[in-house]
Amino acid sequence: MQLKREEGGVRHRLIAASCALLSASAGRAEEAPNTGIERALSDWSLESALAYYHEDGRVQAIEPVVSVSKAYGDGASIGLNLTFDALSGASPNGASPSRTPQTFASPSGKSFTGGKHSYAIAPGDLPEDPHYSDLRAALGADWTLPLERLLTANFGAKFSYEDDFYSGSVNALLARDFNEKNTTVSFGASYEADSLHPIGGTPVPLTNYALFEKTGDQSKDGTGLLLSLTQVMSRNWLSEVNLSVDRFTGYLNDPYKIISVIDAAGDVRGYVYENRPDSRTRRSVYLDNRVAWERSSAGVSLRYMTDDWGIHSETVQLHLQWWTAERDKYVQPTLRWYRQSAADFYTPWLYTAPDLSSASSDSRLAALQALTYGLKYGIKLRDKLGRESSEFNVRIEYYQQTQENGLPGPGALRGLDLYPDLKAILVQIGFRY
Amino acid sequence: MNHRTLGSFLIVGAAILVTGCASVGVKPWQRDLLSRQDMQLNGNAIDDAVDDHLYFSKEASSGGRSFAGGGCGCN
């Protein structure tokens, strides 16, 4: 924080400040970093985590994250973060369960009898590709730069690589303080460009799955705007409201998702590849409130989002934090509730060869509700002089997603579990220095 | 809600915020609680990033807290 410059008594204040600095330096002489490496690292902070994610009967993922940042005396800072993801397991392919066995080809397969390039699904089971796997590496950087006493700029960039997907994005944000730095207004813009290289080629939308009609690589890109107001409400209450809008255009399909085509008796007649609109505009309002007490704090965030695909969603997240009397340990329970309506073009199956311009059976576009319960425990570690120097933490989350208002299955599909719940657990250990 | 109504709401809302914000806040020496790590809006950046990635891959909405987008082919 920078205080207002005062005209009088500057020399005396400088002398007093110099004396204070010297005495502080003398006091810290014993604890000064001894080696060149310690000196070089003393201005940096590091945060790292290892997360393990496991879905009941589906995918599992392991995700190490490392983030380093350096703060400069003038308010500037730089940060770098590196993330890896290793994902494997079974992923729904979009088709519906059936009373009869179903056989599918993996994305690189060109027939339904290709050994490891095909898989069979037992009657009544949700069709899932059992060989789903992916590796992702992402590198992000950000730079905060004070332009004037009350004006700050922030620039960010992110690159992400997967076998079948490359992504690059940049963003810039200007923040202006008002009202003795109790009010901050920020405005920013972002741009993202993605390149898709689906394994086995890009399926031609809404074509017969059995014909394996594929084309080449695809792309999409998006721009976003963000307007934010942060307000200190009182000594222990901070509030933030964000308005954001973004628009993506290009190839917005999931190239690995298909839709069952069934007859009135509920028997499968075939499958087609999904097709989504080639543009999507989303708007959101996000409100965050933090309240602190002597040994505890609470945070409540609300988000309302809507898009031109017909999806509306509401999210409420609550987290509380309690500290021990020594402020060396804390627990943080979290609860999150989420609900979304279905996309206009969502359909769990089609009755005939498609006469629609857009259709998808991806359950992520269906009406659904989700609950997350979480608990985090942290320990502050102290250095030999008793000061807080680092933190070790562990957290666990349980996520359950339930589809709502699912169409009842006709004929043979009646009685099958057409919309199984998604249950997942996340365990994460973290270290901050 | 048409664009004109929405625009009127935004203008009136911004005016209320600007005039209202000037009367609330604290002095610099009253920021002890606000400076705590658990009061920072991005104080748990890695937790937020891990969670956002999970929700981005399982739900149709993302973003809001900051710039949206995932840099992930999972959705």
Q: Identify whether the C-beta of residue B71 lies closer than 8 Å to the C-beta of residue A192.
A: yes
Give the pLDDT band (50/70/90) at residue A29. Answer: very low
Q: Identify whether the C-beta of residue A177 lies closer than 8 Å to the C-beta of residue A211.
A: no
Q: pLDDT exceeding 90 applies to what percent of chain A?
A: 80
Please choose, from the candidates A22, A44, A23, the residue with its C-alpha nearest in 3D space to the C-alpha of residue A33: A44
**Continuous segment of H or E residues that includes residue B48:** helix B45-58
Give the pLDDT band (50/70/90) at residue A386. Answer: confident
**pLDDT tens-digit readout, A320-339:** 999 999 889 999 999 999 99
Residue B49 one-letter amino acid: A
Q: Identify whether the C-beta of residue A181 lies closer than 8 Å to the C-beta of residue A162.
A: no
CB contacts of A274 in chain B (<8 Å) are none
**Continuous segment of H or E residues that includes residue B53:** helix B45-58
Give the residue-averaged pLDDT of A381-405. 90
Q: What is the largest CA-CA distance in chain A?
A: 91
10 Å CB burial of residue A385 (0-12, 13-18, 19+) is exposed
Residue-by-residue DSSP string for A16-63: HHHHHHHHHHHHHGGGS--SHHHHHHTTEEEEEEEEEEEETTS-EEEE
Q: What distance, in Å, lies between the first and last C-alpha atoms of chain A?
A: 23
**pLDDT tens-digit readout, A66-96:** 999 999 988 899 999 999 999 999 999 999 9
- Residues A101, A116: Cα–Cα separation, whole Å: 17
pLDDT at A36 (0 to 100): 67
Find the residue in B nearest to A403 (Cα).
B59
- Residues A55, A61: Cα–Cα separation, whole Å: 9
Token duo for residue A419: 């919309």
- State in words which class domain A45-432 has: mainly beta
- Residues A63, B26: Cα–Cα separation, whole Å: 40
CB contact (8 A) between residue B34 and residue A305? no
Residue at token pair 């989504």: A276
| Least confident range of A98-112, A222-236, A291-305, A401-415 | A98-112
Please choose, from the candidates A256, A371, A369, A253, the residue with its C-alpha nearest in 3D space to the C-alpha of residue A309: A253
Token duo for residue A99: 């009373």
The two beta strands, A279-292 and A296-307, are: antiparallel
Angstroms from A265 CA to nearest CA on chain B: 31
pLDDT at A387 (0 to 100): 73
By Cβ distance, the residue of A49, A338, A424 closest to B46 is A49
CB contacts of A169 in chain B (<8 Å) are 67, 69, 71
Token duo for residue A69: 């940042």
Q: Does the pLDDT of residue A107 top 90, yes or no? A: no
Token duo for residue A115: 């050994």
By Cβ distance, the residue of B34, B71, B75 closest to A160 is B71
Find the residue in B nearest to A401 (Cα).
B58
Give the pLDDT band (50/70/90) at residue A232. Answer: very high
Q: Identify whether the C-beta of residue A19 lies closer than 8 Å to the C-beta of residue A32.
A: no
Residue-by-residue DSSP string for B13-28: HHHHHHHHHTT----G
Domain boundaries along the sequence of chain A: 45-432
By Cβ distance, the residue of B39, B51, B58 closest to A401 is B58
Q: Does the pLDDT of residue A318 top 60, yes or no? A: yes
pLDDT at A27 (0 to 100): 38
Q: What is the pTM of this model?
A: 0.87
CB contacts of A395 in chain B (<8 Å) are 47
ipTM of the complex: 0.88
Phi, psi of A226 (to 5 degrees): -135, 130
Give the residue-averaged pLDDT of A44-52. 95
Please choose, from the candidates A424, A418, A425, the residue with its C-alpha nearest in 3D space to the C-alpha of residue A401: A424
CB contacts of B53 in chain A (<8 Å) are 63, 85
**pLDDT tens-digit readout, B10-68:** 666 666 665 666 678 899 999 999 999 899 998 899 999 999 999 999 999 998 888 76
Mutation test of the interface with chain A: which of B18, B34, B46, choosing the one with the most A Cβ atoms within 10 A?
B46
